[in-house]
């Protein structure tokens, strides 16, 4: 049931931007974050390498738990490509995504210090 709800919400928030040849997924609903943990979100980024996730609504519930940090840190050395994260309100035009699972795991863990995700305009290098 959890996976079905996740897929259903994900389908509704996805947007394809043909003009930039970049797939962009907009997360604009707090219901999404009620169902998705940081680990689930990293798994989503792994499934969509070279795609961008714009975060309009920040997670509030079930996100900043210390138990997730240990799992996320286990990905720090992973060099496989994955999707990137940016604030919906970023002013810089992003035309490509080149990031790794390890980098995104570190970015998510850094957000625990700020109690805010994303904690900067972009997770991209």
Neighbours of 8 (CB within 10 A): 10
pLDDT at 17 over 50: no
Q: What is residue 16's predicted lDDT score, i.e. its pLDDT?
A: 38
pLDDT digits (tens, 9 = 90+) for 45-74: 999 998 999 999 999 877 888 899 999 999
Residue 119 lies in a domain: no
In degrees, to the nearest 5, what angle opens at C-alpha 33 toward C-alphas 77 and 27?
85
The reply to whether 73 falls in a domain is yes
120 within domain boundaries: no
pLDDT for 20: 55
Distance of alpha carbon 99 from the chain centroid: 12
Which range marks the domain in which residue 102 is found?
A: 2-114
The tokens describing 23, both together, are 């797939």
Residue 107 tokens, joined: 């970015």
In a domain, 123, yes or no: no
Helix (H) or strand (E) holding 116: none
- Indicate the SS3 state at residue 98: coil
Contact 98, 79 (CB under 8 A): no
> Is 67 within the bounds of a domain?
yes
Sign of the alpha-carbon torsion through 114, 29, 97, 100 = positive
Residue 83 lies in a domain: yes
């Amino acid at each position: 049931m959890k996976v079905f709800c996740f897929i259903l919400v994900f389908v509704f928030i996805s947007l394809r931007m043909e003009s930039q040849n970049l797939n962009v997924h907009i997360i604009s609903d707090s219901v999404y974050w009620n169902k998705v943990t940081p680990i689930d979100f990293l798994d989503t980024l792994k499934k969509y390498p070279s795609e961008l996730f714009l975060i309009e609504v920040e997670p509030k519930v079930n996100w900043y738990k210390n138990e997730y940090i240990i799992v996320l840190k286990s990905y720090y050395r992973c060099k496989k490509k994955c999707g990137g994260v940016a604030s919906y309100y970023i002013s810089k035009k992003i035309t490509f995504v080149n990031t790794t699972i390890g980098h995104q795991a570190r970015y998510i863990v850094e957000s625990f210090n700020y109690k805010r995700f994303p904690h900067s305009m972009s997770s991209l290098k």
